[in-house]
Amino acid sequence: MPDPDATDEQLLVARDAASFELFYVRHVDAVLGFFARRTFDAEMAADLCAETFAAALTSRHRFRPGGPPATAWLFGIGSKKLADAQRRGYADMRARKRLGMERIELSDQDIARIERLGEGDETRALMERLPPEQRAAIAAHVIDERPYGEIANELHTSEAVVRKRVSRGLATMRRRMGVGR
């Protein structure tokens, strides 16, 4: 049984199932909320969360204590999973399949809980009404604070295209909010 007061770094370095389970319990809601705010889809958020923790489990031997915090490492994995899903249009299930994990069927209660974790931002409804390209660009640049060049490389497009998507999306949101009239 791991020490409940152990740091996240200690839990990952321990490399036993119980320690990873405690790490998972500590961070599952934050990871679910992260994906729910970005995908606006509870089932995709749950899939991406499962993939993130599966990837973290299989690659925890690469985690290095003394470097970035364990949560930064975990959210780095999550960001890559989200980028993969956005680029291909579906959640990559390889890590889950490699571990032999079946897809979790979500109940209505589970979906409602995940959606609540993604709430808290009044712009959510405005974001949902944007075209997917603009929504993804705004999430990557404004919410995730990623540079335009990095987003452009990931999407295999120019930095100008990404800037335009962000600009148009934000202008549409401002107009719908009645700001700047």
Count H helices and E strands in the chain, helices first: 10, 0
Q: Judge if 113 and 40 occupy the same domain.
A: yes
pLDDT score for 113: 67
Residues 71 and 139 in one domain: no
Structure confidence at residue 150 as a pLDDT band (50, 70, 90): confident
- Domain containing 52 equals 1-120
Determine what percent of the chain is predicted with pLDDT higher than 90. 17
Are 2 and 82 within one domain?
yes
pLDDT at 91 over 70: no
Mean pLDDT throughout 46-71?
A: 88
For residues 169 and 96, state if they share a domain.
Answer: no
CATH number of the CATH domain containing 130: 1.10.10.10
- Asked whether residue 22 carries a pLDDT value surpassing 90, the answer given is yes
Contacts of 123 (CB under 8 A, 6+ apart): 173
Query: Is pLDDT larger for residue 72 or for residue 124?
Result: 72
Do 111 and 42 reside in the same domain of the chain?
Answer: yes
Contacts by 172-180, CB closer than 8 A, 24 or more apart: 172/130, 172/134, 173/123, 173/126, 173/127, 173/130, 176/126, 176/129, 177/126
pLDDT at 7: 92
Where is pLDDT greater, at 9 or 91? 9
User: Of 114, 140, 113, 110, whose CA–CA distance to 127 is shortest?
Assistant: 140
Residue 90: is its pLDDT beyond 50?
no
> Do 27 and 106 reside in the same domain of the chain?
yes
How many residues are recorded in the chain?
Answer: 181
Q: How many CB atoms lie within 10 A of CB 43?
A: 16
Per-residue pLDDT at 129 exceeds 70: yes
**Using CB atoms within 10 A of its CB, is residue 129 exposed (0-12), middle (13-18) or buried (19+)?**
exposed
pTM over 0.95: no
Report the pLDDT averaged over residues 81-109.
64
**Domains in the chain, number:** 2
The pLDDT, as a whole number, for residue 9 is: 92
Cα separation, 181 vs 174, whole angstroms:
9
